[in-house]
Amino acid sequence: MFKPLDINDNKENKTGETTASEHLKCLIIGSGPAGYTAAIYAARANLSPVMYEGLQPGGQLTTTTEVENYPGYPEGVTGPVMMEDLKKQAERFGTDVRWGMATRVDFSGEIHKVWIDDEKLIEAETVIIATGATAKYLGLEDEKKYAGGGVSACATCDGFFYRGKDVAVVGGGDTATEEAMYLAGLCNKVYLIVRRDELRASKVMAERTMKTPNIEILWKHQTKGLFGDGVVEGATLVKNQGEAGEEEVKIKIDGFFLGIGHTPNSDIFKDYVNTNEVGYIKTIPGTSKTNVPGVFACGDVQDDQYRQAVTAAGSGCMAAIDAERYLSEKHG
């Protein structure tokens, strides 16, 4: 059955194809905790939000196992269950959650244009960008093999499961040193696997890391693979010894953490929305407003500091309230 739309006419997109367009008050792009919280608030404010879920419905949390630090779940909850709950809550108030990916935008006019899967054109008065960030992985087959079995890209989410155990963190920047410091407070021993002979991290973090007794820095080491029977039991590393060649080293660990950075999923917005030097969307401090009126950003795509489900949810709430106020001011 055909669902009636506010406006549904045919227009030509930039490539000259004819596409059906749909006019919305509020479009939400991305379906992590930020997107769903924005959806709950926007739906309850009668903005009739439509959400496109993106490539990874539910976002990064669907790749973690137990979430124990989100308030309101005293026994913990798995990432996928929590995201299903958030989705149900958003739908309960009338959010139209759809499968599809925003592939292109044009924010040059007062009405914002977003193309879904390069086909469908959405024209929205407000757009809430909640596309998140993607943790970088080394690209090893073993990272996939042991996903959920000892490989993680979030120490704050998963570190607790490795209390008293030995773990490794890869990377030498602020993310890796911060993860290593966090894990050092929980674990017996933390190996920091650094590919060069110096840290990229800020001086203060580098010094703190080097002074922590249960962190051992493995300088000039790269990860070759992981081993273990179903779960991670160790890693095979290669030590670069300069002219003396390479040496293979094995370490026994229960957890392998990636700390080589995140990539904010902001590429398609960059022609219109201001980002910082590494791609995080800039918002006006204390708000979710971007430099484009009517376009708001929340969650990890604009946050290189906290990156937690609960902070993402909080910023999603802010985005919906900012969108609602923008529309009220516009329409009186």
Concerning whether 322 is annotated as a catalytic residue, the answer is no
Q: Please tell me which residue in 26, 142, 157, 322 is annotated as part of the active site.
A: 157
Q: Distance between CA 26 and CA 13 in Å, rounded? A: 21
Minimum CB distance to ligand NDP, residue 308 (Å): 13
Q: Please tell me which residue in 154, 174, 298, 300 is annotated as part of the active site.
A: 154
Q: Is the Cβ of residue 82 or residue 170 nearer to ligand NDP in the bound state? A: 170
> 259: exposed, middle or buried (C-beta count within 10 Å: 0-12, 13-18, 19+)?
buried
Using Cβ positions, the residue closest to ligand NDP within the complex turns out to be 173
Concerning whether 317 is annotated as a catalytic residue, the answer is no
Q: Distance between CA 304 and CA 31 in Å, rounded? A: 18
CA dihedral 307, 309, 315, 320 (to 10 degrees): 140
Q: Please tell me which residue in 26, 142, 158, 187 is annotated as part of the active site.
A: 158
Q: Is the Cβ of residue 116 or residue 260 nearer to ligand NDP in the bound state? A: 260
Q: Is the Cβ of residue 21 or residue 209 nearer to ligand NDP in the bound state? A: 209
- Under DSSP, the state recorded for 201 is S
Minimum CB distance to ligand NDP, residue 277 (Å): 8
Minimum CB distance to ligand NDP, residue 287 (Å): 21
Q: Is the Cβ of residue 33 or residue 261 nearer to ligand NDP in the bound state? A: 261
Concerning whether 96 is annotated as a catalytic residue, the answer is no
Minimum CB distance to ligand NDP, residue 18 (Å): 43
Query: Is the Cβ–Cβ distance between 236 and 225 less than 8 Å?
Result: yes
DSSP 74-122: TT-EEHHHHHHHHHHHHHHTT-EEE---EEEEE-SSSSEEEEETTTEEE
Provide the annotated active-site residues.
154, 157-158
